Amino acid sequence: MQFADSLAFLGLPGRAIEAPGNLRLSIAHVTSVPPLVCTMDGALQAHSTFVAEINAQPHLQFVQNGSELDRALESGKTAVICGLQNLPPVADLAELRKAGISFAGIAYQGINNYGSGWLNAGVGLTVRGRGAIEELLALGIVLDLSHAGHQTARDALSLNPFCGKVAATHGGCYSKYHHMRNLPDDVLIRIASLGGIVGIATRTFTLDELAPGILPFLRHLRHAINICGEDAVCIGSDAAYVNISGEAWYSAHLELAAKLDPLGTLGMRYPEHPKFLNGADRMEILWSMLKEIRVSPIPVRVMEKIFWKNFLNFFERE
């Protein structure tokens, strides 16, 4: 069985890439530019450093298109697709594409030149944002709405004509839990109707107010399948594929929360993901768990799409 993650971390966020020997992942879409980098020079430098780290790992291969992805898979390597989650205020999109950026979000948390991230649900796309999206799509860069505010996402999807790839690579369903990082049903349905994909994260604090286990993920996953269809849903764990002790994980959590959630608006809590998924084989564990479900099980043929085929088909589609 092969596995694809529409948003993974190969190593702890903000730290050097790791590719453990037991890594069970065939395709990984990763963030090669930290979301708080705010200049083009900074974005290109961060991406270049990241790609060099990928190329230094014998079991990883940086890919930019379907042909390169196929070659990586044929060689038994993990194909790594790069994206960024927040465009620099003054962005040269052609340069980003030339450097190998395949996915791009236009806003991460707050308001920027293009629209807004999830902190401002009612702030829409700007004129500059419309132009940026049109250019992204013309360049063949996937528009990733995972962090977009609700109105910014709606405005982006209403561009007429909308021609190009679109996704919400890692998140949840707002109708299942009212965390503003999750997207409303109408946005998710629209993404699916345009041939896009919706990735459900295993990150518990945006899927449920309190529950630390796997049930919130299952609720969001099943709902996404119901409203988007079995061909439009995948897993975007938003988690690190590393083998790490609880103490080191907690330390990394505090470090990340201080950077991304200093005011507590995101609601980060430890552990960010179910503890039993901690490790480089997290997708294999998740697959085994879902196969064992006896009440309203997800058919294996649908699981194969969600864990692998849907993201593969999406990225390879011309």
- In tens, the pLDDT along 132-191 reads 999 999 999 999 999 999 999 999 999 988 888 999 999 999 999 999 999 999 999 999
Residue 13 pLDDT more than 70?
Answer: yes
pLDDT of residue 266: 92
Q: Which residue has the higher pLDDT, 242 or 152?
A: 152
Mean pLDDT of the chain: 94
Band the pLDDT of 260: cuts 50, 70, 90.
confident
User: Residue ranges of the domains in the chain?
Assistant: 4-316
Q: Which of 6-15, 97-106, 226-235 has the lowest mean pLDDT?
A: 6-15
Phi and psi angles of residue 217, each rounded to the nearest 5 degrees, phi first: -60, -45
pLDDT of residue 1: 83
Q: What is the pLDDT of residues 32-71, one digit of tens each?
A: 999 989 899 999 999 999 999 999 999 999 999 999 999 9
Residue 80 pLDDT more than 80?
Answer: yes
The fraction of the chain above a pLDDT of 70, given in percent, is: 100
Apex CA 22: angle with CA 19 and CA 26, to 5°? 70
CB neighbour list of residue 299: distance below 8 Å, 6 or more residues apart: none
**Residue 199, token pair as written in the block:** 């990735």
Q: Which of 16-25, 107-116, 289-298 has the lowest mean pLDDT?
A: 16-25
Residue 80 host element (H or E): strand 78-84
Alpha-carbon distance 108 to 33, whole Å? 12
Band the pLDDT of 15: cuts 50, 70, 90.
confident
Q: Which of 22-36, 101-115, 252-266, 277-291 has the lowest mean pLDDT?
A: 252-266
pLDDT of residue 318: 55
Q: What is the mean pLDDT of residues 229-239?
A: 97
Q: What is the pLDDT of residues 97-115, one digit of tens each?
A: 999 999 999 999 999 999 9
Q: What is the mean pLDDT of residues 189-200?
A: 97
Residues 104/142, Cβ–Cβ less than 8 Å: yes
The fraction of the chain above a pLDDT of 90, given in percent, is: 84
Helix-strand-coil split of the chain, %, nearest 5: 40, 15, 45
CATH class of 4-316: alpha beta
CB neighbour list of residue 220: distance below 8 Å, 6 or more residues apart: 172, 173, 176, 177, 182, 200, 207
Q: What is the mean pLDDT of residues 292-302?
A: 91
Residues 30/63, Cβ–Cβ less than 8 Å: no
Q: What is the mean pLDDT of residues 247-252?
A: 89
Residues 249/206, Cβ–Cβ less than 8 Å: no
pLDDT of residue 313: 96
